[in-house]
Copies of this chain bind each other. A is one copy, B any other.
């Protein structure tokens, strides 16, 4: 019954309010999970690993995202302390986004996922094709 995540180190003892387990809805870890369970978060945070980036750069780098959603995502990431927004020039408005320490630690984990997707994307394609083919014949 135990999740491979033994998060009961010191948190469970004192907090007492929630279990701290991601499987419980309405606890902080769950909120965190839902925040990072976004395709855009999975792209934006790792993109910032190489250094600060500006709005337009992120917009170009992150294929498929719209300006609106980029803004929303960045604001949410900033709100949760993962990204730091810095205004560096007011003349032709220069804004930079960079990872916080917290953001860096998360980004490391996300990079692993990105790599997994790049490595196994083809395998998923193949599996889908197989599944759909056999589902077709079954119908």
**Which B residues touch A79, using CB under 8 A?**
127-128, 131-132
The answer to whether B117 touches A29 (Cβ under 8 A) is yes
- CB contact under 8 A between A3 and B114, given known A23-B64, A24-B63, A79-B132: yes
**Which B residues touch A81, using CB under 8 A?**
123-124, 126-128, 130-131
Q: Does A122 contact B (CB under 8 A)?
A: yes
Contact of A63 among B2, B25, B43 (CB under 8 A): B25
The answer to whether A47 touches B4 (Cβ under 8 A) is yes
Q: Does A93 contact B (CB under 8 A)?
A: no
- CB contact under 8 A between A23 and B124, given known A3-B49, A29-B118, A106-B116: no
**Which B residues touch A126, using CB under 8 A?**
81
**Which B residues touch A132, using CB under 8 A?**
79
Q: Name A107-131 residues within 8 Å CB distance of B.
A: 109-128, 130-131
* Distance from A1 Cβ to chain B, minimum over Cβ atoms (Å): 7
Distance of A120 Cα from B120 Cα, bound (Å)? 28
The answer to whether A118 touches B63 (Cβ under 8 A) is no
The answer to whether B5 touches A131 (Cβ under 8 A) is no
**Which B residues touch A33, using CB under 8 A?**
39, 42-43, 113-114, 117
